[in-house]
Amino acid sequence: MYERGEGCKVDKELSNAWYKVSSRGYYYQLRHQTTRSLDKEQEKLYKSLKRSDDVLTQNTIRQFTQSLYSLKPHAATYFLFASYRYGALYPDTNGHPAKEVETEFQISLKFNYGANLLGFGEIYSIGYTQKSFWQLYASSAYFRETNYNPEAFVTFPLHNMASIDYLKAFRLSFEHQSNGRGGVEERSWNYLSSSFYFQYKAIFTELKLWHRLPDATDYNPDLLEYLGHGHIQFMLPYKQHLAKLLLRSSFHGKSAVEVNYSHPVFGRDDLFFYFKAFSGYGESLIDYNHKVHKIGLGFSISR
């Protein structure tokens, strides 16, 4: 617009400045997306299909042939091909003996369905996280434990509040977590949580607090004696490295420390080497009251 004087005066300097912004940011980001060639081929395939004369029918064809969706990464999505527990053995599950080495993976997605309904720039979302512990190296290769964590939350940005420059966002969530089992092995709870997000230079911090809601049937009444009422997490990006440190304490002598590290591999922006170390209580629901020490290596597709 500045180059051609469309709706404004011709200004070559501003025109050049905005072209530079585009080349450094948006175009650079698209040019380095590993899915760029895949999207092009998908578009070619769609254009080769016979079109419908009905606009609504054609739109439906476009949606299901191009697999259009608006899911985004939530927590890290990773696969640890080797996760080693040291210092203690896993208990047998339904007569199946467990190995010290297993695979662990987590899938975490969110869908942002609304924004700015109250005029604060807030974002409304639903999320789902599933973490599974797979005894891949055991004779029967069974799933030792799976934890399910659906949630609904709203995030308020606080970037306009100059008086608290370090506080960037605030989130309110309703969450459910369970392992999907019944009887004596059932572990589940409902809770409200609030998260505060800070930034100081290159250090990002999340302070998350939760309050357990009463359950009709309480299968694990002492859960918070091991999980506590919140955690604090520090995230440090440096060049292409990203390190995370999570600390949790129940103030009943039960605590946990988790360290994560990731780095891009093969020059990609969507595949990372992933290292995870955990020590303490609450690594999984089935073992929430057992102290666990683990290290794992694998890959992640989101950070």
pLDDT digits (tens, 9 = 90+) for 246-290: 999 998 899 999 999 999 998 888 899 999 999 999 999 999 999
Active-site annotation holder among 67, 163, 176, 241: 176
pLDDT computed for residue 301 by the predictor: 95
pLDDT computed for residue 97 by the predictor: 84
Mean predicted lDDT score pLDDT of the chain? 90
Over residues 85-109, the mean pLDDT reads: 88
Higher pLDDT: 61 or 136? It is: 136
176 catalytically annotated = yes
d(CA 43, CA 66): 8
d(CA 147, CA 126): 17
For residue 144, pLDDT beyond 80: yes
Over residues 43-58, the mean pLDDT reads: 85
d(CA 79, CA 83): 10
CA-closest candidate to residue 293, choices 275, 278, 271, 276: 278
Beta-strand (E) ranges in the chain?
71-73, 78-85, 101-115, 123-134, 143-157, 167-178, 188-200, 203-212, 230-238, 241-249, 255-264, 272-280, 292-300
pLDDT computed for residue 70 by the predictor: 78
d(CA 100, CA 135): 9
Which of 59-63, 215-219, 262-266, 291-295 is the least confident region? 215-219
Task: Identify the three-state secondary structure at position 14.
Answer: helix
Active-site annotation holder among 67, 70, 96, 178: 178
The model scores a pTM over 0.75: yes
pLDDT computed for residue 104 by the predictor: 98
pLDDT computed for residue 59 by the predictor: 85
Which of 21-30, 102-111, 178-187 is the least confident region? 21-30
Over residues 240-250, the mean pLDDT reads: 96
For residue 21, pLDDT beyond 90: no
Over residues 50-70, the mean pLDDT reads: 82
Q: How far is CA 186 from the centre of its chain?
A: 25
pLDDT computed for residue 159 by the predictor: 72
**Do the Cβ atoms of 201 and 175 come closer than 8 Å?**
no
Q: Which CATH architecture has domain 69-300?
A: Beta Barrel (2.40)
CATH 2.40.230.10 in the chain is located at 69-300
Sign of CA dihedral 271, 80, 184, 211: negative
For residue 119, pLDDT beyond 70: yes
pLDDT computed for residue 34 by the predictor: 61
pLDDT computed for residue 185 by the predictor: 86
Angle at 258 between CA 256 and CA 261, to 5 degrees: 175
284 catalytically annotated = no
Higher pLDDT: 51 or 152? It is: 152
For residue 184, pLDDT beyond 90: no
What would the two tokens of residue 181 be?
A: 């089992």
Over residues 131-137, the mean pLDDT reads: 96
